[in-house]
Amino acid sequence: TYMSIHTRKVRVLGYGVPSKLESLDFNVHHQGVAPSDNASEAHIPPMFKFCDMKYSDYTPCEDIERSNQFDTHMQFFRERRCPQKTELLRCLIPHPPGYRTPFPWPQSRDFAWYANVPHKKLSVLKVHQNWIKFQGDRFYFPDGGTSFQNGAKMYIEEIGELIPLAGGSIRTALDIGCGVASLGAYLFKYNILTMSFSPKDIHEAQVQFALERGVPAMIGILGTRRLPYPAMAFDMAHCSRCLIPWTDHDGLYLIEVDRVLRPGGYWILSGPPINWQSRHEGWNRTVESLNQEQRTIEDLATRLCWKKVAEKGDLAVWQKPTNHIHCIQKRRIFKVHPFCHRGNADMAWYKKMETCITPLPKVRNIEDTAGMALEKWPKRLTAVPPRIKRRTISGVTSESFNQDTKLWTKRLIYYKRFLESLTDGIYRNIMDMNAGLGSFAAALANYKVWVMNVVPADTNRNTLGIIYERGLIGTYMDWCEAFSTYPRTYDLIHADGLFSMYQD
């Protein structure tokens, strides 16, 4: 069985539903009052009461009060940490007062109702950086950012002068320390799907604003653990004044970026120390410290066998090699980081980072791409992924992949009978809780939606790498815990075989 749950005002959809759903309605239908004890009056079982309104933006595994009890070294205190069983809430999270139907896409890229995310602090803290502005009953996102002095659109155009953003070779991107995710919002124009993440810190609700805009985002941080993504996942990784200490801990964080970058993928850095010769006075840093920081980054990139392909203005770009033939040869000449010799590079759920290079799959010739080259988008979506061709996952074949793609294309036709608003931009943020090969998301590729494909960390088939090879995005998750997001951030949640998996 499979079902879809609409999370702004919960509804359930499954095979055999006899009648169409009423028009989509996100408006508030409670004020934090517990359901009636008379089930016939309330039309719902009298099981859960509503939580106190102070929990309206509760994020169980990123609770600041709990986090502040832990060591701040390497951002350990900001890492995901879930409540004990005795601390779990047994109540429904309430909407904030005045909650309204979010703007449909693409209007949501530029506007969000204040009542839905009632936090003005970010608009005050970033008033001179053009992140977000408060206008009456709504927020306006003017496409700015700390490093986007001329707007995100022009910033992306500048990146496009250095690497091929158009054309389909770059499809998946990672934005580290994303702010309100303006980069990801405007990369949609290039058919680039961006996984954006930021921690829950003094810049309240960054990820909440991003998701309210209809842009993919998660609460997350580079601390001591791997990012919850497989190896070789992203065509591009980006940091714009993301405050990551790239030169600390023997380059541990750059090593993690290397793990999740595809062979031939790009790392883009803007902000300190890039262009320090012109910017050092505004950064209130000494010339010596900035120069040393850039030299250390350059050295770390060399030790990772990356090639610097461009530095222009405030942007610098490095490229990961397409294979490790030269890198192995370099070890005899340069102080290259050692290669990892044990463990599964795709395992990333509560897994500690290591100061060793994730080895790429072996190739015969220097011109070959490790792990096999990917098709350009959109062919990438339906082409048999390299991980399947290489038979890296037991029981998954080219034939079963093609059958799965056809099956979910057929099932979506059925779903559309009940989801009439699917083409209107009202459904925007969709989650597939047990994504399998990503075929549900693939069937939705022509709609104005994006899908967070979740692969349970305890499944016996780790298919998240396949999903990324299709040009889709997702994350690992243990569904016995809370997801790293804010309440009310997904418009549709889909589950296929999830409950039976955990029951078994």
Q: Are 349 and 228 in contact (CB under 8 A)?
A: yes
Phi, psi dihedral angles at 300 (to 5 degrees): -60, -40
User: Residue 363: what pLDDT?
Assistant: 97
Residues whose CB is less than 8 angstroms from the CB of residue 367 and which lie 6 or more positions away in sequence, other chains included: none
- CA-CA-CA-CA torsion sign (197, 201, 203, 208): positive
Rounded CA gap, 100 and 114, in Å?
9
Rounded CA gap, 271 and 148, in Å?
10
User: Residue 68: what pLDDT?
Assistant: 87
Q: Which long-range contacts (CB under 8 A, 24 or more apart) does 25-28 make?
A: 25/101, 26/99, 26/100, 26/101, 26/102, 26/426, 26/491, 27/99, 27/100, 27/101, 28/95, 28/97, 28/98, 28/99, 28/100
User: Residue 43: what pLDDT?
Assistant: 60
Rounded CA gap, 21 and 328, in Å?
59
* Two tokens, residue 192: 């680039």
Q: For residue 68, which amino acid is it?
A: N
* Two tokens, residue 121: 């602090």
Rounded CA gap, 277 and 280, in Å?
6
Strand partners, 196: 175, 217
Q: For residue 381, which amino acid is it?
A: L
* Two tokens, residue 227: 């990012």
Please state which architecture CATH assigns to domain 1-11+377-504.
Answer: 3-Layer(aba) Sandwich (3.40)
* Two tokens, residue 110: 């530029």
**Superfamily of structural domain 146-373:** Vaccinia Virus protein VP39 (3.40.50.150)
Best CA proximity match to 398, nearest among 411, 410, 380, 386: 386
Best CA proximity match to 381, nearest among 409, 419, 346: 409
Bin 438: left if φ > 0, else alpha if -120 < ψ < 50, else beta: left
Specify the 3-state DSSP secondary structure of 494: strand
User: Residue 424: what pLDDT?
Assistant: 81
Q: Are 260 and 231 in contact (CB under 8 A)?
A: yes
User: Residue 269: what pLDDT?
Assistant: 98
Measured between alpha carbons, how far apart are the two ends of the chain, in Å? 15
For the chain, the structural domain boundaries read 1-11+377-504, 146-373
- How far out from the chain centre does Cα 435 lie? 15
Count CB-CB contacts under 10 A for residue 455: 28
On the question of a common fold for 1-11+377-504 and 146-373, the answer reads yes
Rounded CA gap, 135 and 138, in Å?
5
Longest dimension (CA), the chain: 78
Q: pTM of the prediction?
A: 0.91
DSSP 8-state class, residue 476? E
Interhelix angle 276-283/287-303, rounded to 10 degrees, is: 130
Q: Are 180 and 160 in contact (CB under 8 A)?
A: no
Q: What order do you get walking across the sheet with 450-456 strand by strand?
A: 11-14, 2-6, 492-496, 429-432, 450-456, 473-477
Q: What is the mean pLDDT of each run of 10 residues along the chain (504 residues)?
A: 42 39 47 50 70 96 89 91 94 96 95 93 64 90 75 95 98 95 96 96 82 97 97 98 94 98 99 93 92 97 96 97 92 80 94 97 97 98 98 95 98 90 88 98 97 96 98 98 97 94 78
- CA-CA-CA-CA torsion sign (37, 43, 48, 52): negative
